[in-house]
Amino acid sequence: RGGLTLLVQVIPFGEEQKMVVSRDITQLEKLETMRRDFVANVSHELRTPLTVVSGFLETLLDGWNDYSREDIERFLKLAHDQSSRMQHLIEDLLTLSALETGAPAPAEERVDVAGLLREVHQQTDLLSAGRHEVTLQIDGDGVLLGSQKELHSAFANLASNAVRYTPEGGKVRLIWRRDGQGGEFAVEDTGIGIAAEHLPRLTERFYRVDLGRSRETGGTGLGLAIVKHILTRHQAELQVESALGKGSRFSARFPNARLAVG
């Protein structure tokens, strides 16, 4: 809308201004394509689980007497998994939309890094359910200035990805390190890794390297988009290094301005 207003106001002026206008239209078209892709993606993501749920319900309605108690339980479990998936997607969409519409930055809190990471470590361990070796290493304590809730969400997202994309028996390391330039939170895994060509696109909404694997492990394709937004709000930078078949390292670097003394 901002672009269109500009178009109307600028046309009566000279050549130079017209160039501004056309650039603005290209930008508008790009935004419109992005919006359309987004709506298509969301609809598709919701339709798939919804089809499964309504399929099961129809089958049961048609004659639940034909099925054993075990069969019915299996149906219900699958339908329940699908509805959890829709719920996750909607939660992620709401989070992302709040971040994207420029919701005001939450009140700046003093976040105790060690405490936060111990919590994330515990949750990651629970998620792994003994399938991985999950470790936490803290070099140099710290206090981050920012939102406890958002930082928790960003760190937990990176940690859960490491678990979800690392086969059983692998390692997941959560690391916090302070140095002269600031502080860094990193998650290292010995998982499936990511081919170089995908790295630049990982934080795009709904971008997945392997759709099947993402879905199987309850992914929405929005996690890293949310992480990127949160980190940007905290002046932090997301870096990814990865080697296919060997593992990945996702890190968030915070400048000194975001760190306070304990």
Question: Which chain residues interact with ligand ADP by CB under 6 A?
Answer: 161-162, 165, 189, 191-192, 194, 202, 207-210, 214, 219-225, 248
Are 172 and 159 a contacting pair, CB within 8 Å? yes
Smallest separation (angstroms) from ligand ADP to the CB of 53? 20
**CA within 13 Å, CB half, 88:** 17
Smallest separation (angstroms) from ligand ADP to the CB of 136? 17
Smallest separation (angstroms) from ligand ADP to the CB of 42? 14
In which residue are the tokens 């028996």 written? 169
What secondary structure does DSSP assign to 184-251, as a single string? EEEEEE-SS---GGGGGGTTSTT--S-HHHHHHTT--S-HHHHHHHHHHHTT-EEEEEEETTTEEEEE
SS3 195: coil
- Cα 4 to Cα 21, 24, 122, 180, 230, distances in angstroms: 9, 8, 50, 47, 30
Torsion (CA) 224, 225, 228, 232 in degrees, nearest 10? -160
Smallest separation (angstroms) from ligand ADP to the CB of 86? 14
- 222 bridge partner residues: none
Instruction: Tell me the two tokens of residue 42.
Output: 């969301």
Smallest separation (angstroms) from ligand ADP to the CB of 191? 5
- Indicate the residue among 28 and 209 with the shorter CB distance to ligand ADP: 209
- Indicate the residue among 151 and 224 with the shorter CB distance to ligand ADP: 224
In which residue are the tokens 């996702």 written? 250
Plot region of 140 (φ>0 → left; ψ -120 to 50 → alpha; else → beta): left
- Indicate the residue among 4 and 211 with the shorter CB distance to ligand ADP: 211
Smallest separation (angstroms) from ligand ADP to the CB of 145? 25
